[in-house]
Amino acid sequence: MVLLAGILAGCGTGEKDPYVRQPVAGMITFNGSPLTSGAITFFPENNGSVASGAPIVNGKYSISKKDGLPAGTYKVSISSPVPKASANANAGEFPVYEERIPGLYNTKTTLICELPPDNQKEISFDLVSNPK
C-alpha cells in the first residue's frame, strides 16, 4: 500500500517544472510606434534550455508561465510579415508576404536578452528600419 501511495504522489498536475519557467512579457516598437502584428521567439544560447515565443499584437506580447522561459541568455527573433503588393494579383491566388523587419532582428538576429531568475520586469525591444 505504501508503494502505491508513493507512485500516485508523482502523478497529476502537482509535478514541479524541471525548467523553472517564468512568464515573459513586453513591448515591441518599430520606428517609434508599437509593432501592429508579428511574432517574437526566444532561442536559448545554451542548448540545455527551452525556446518559446508569442504573437505580437498592437506592440505587446505575453508568454505565460506554463510556456515561459527559464533564467538564462537568449537570442531573440522578431518578425512581422506583411502582404506584398502585386500588380499581377488575381482572385484566388495566395498572397505573397515580405518581411518588413530587418534581418538583424530575425534571420540574422543580433538581439540578445538576459532573463534573470524571478524576472519581474518587461523585456521590450525598440527596432528601427535602418539599424546602424
Cα gap 113→131, rounded to integer Å: 18
- Count of residues in the chain: 132
- Across 9-18, 27-36, 42-51, least confident range: 9-18
- When pLDDT is averaged across residues 5-26 and rounded to a whole number, the result is 69
**Could you tell me where the DSSP H helices lie in 57-100?**
none
Check whether 6 has a pLDDT greater than 90: no
Alpha-carbon dihedral 84, 103, 22, 70, rounded to 10 degrees: 140
pLDDT tens-digit readout, 46-87: 766 799 999 999 999 999 999 999 999 999 999 999 988 765
pLDDT tens-digit readout, 11-20: 445 568 788 9
pLDDT given at position 86: 66
What one-character DSSP code corresponds to residue 46?
S
Asked if residues 109 and 99 have their Cβ atoms less than 8 Å apart, the reply is no
Specify the amino acid at residue 115.
L
Cα gap 55→57, rounded to integer Å: 6
pLDDT given at position 79: 97
Query: Is the pTM value of this prediction over 0.85?
Result: no
Walk me through the domains of the chain, giving residue ranges and CATH numbers: 19-127 (2.60.40)
Tell me the three cell numbers of residue 41.
521567439
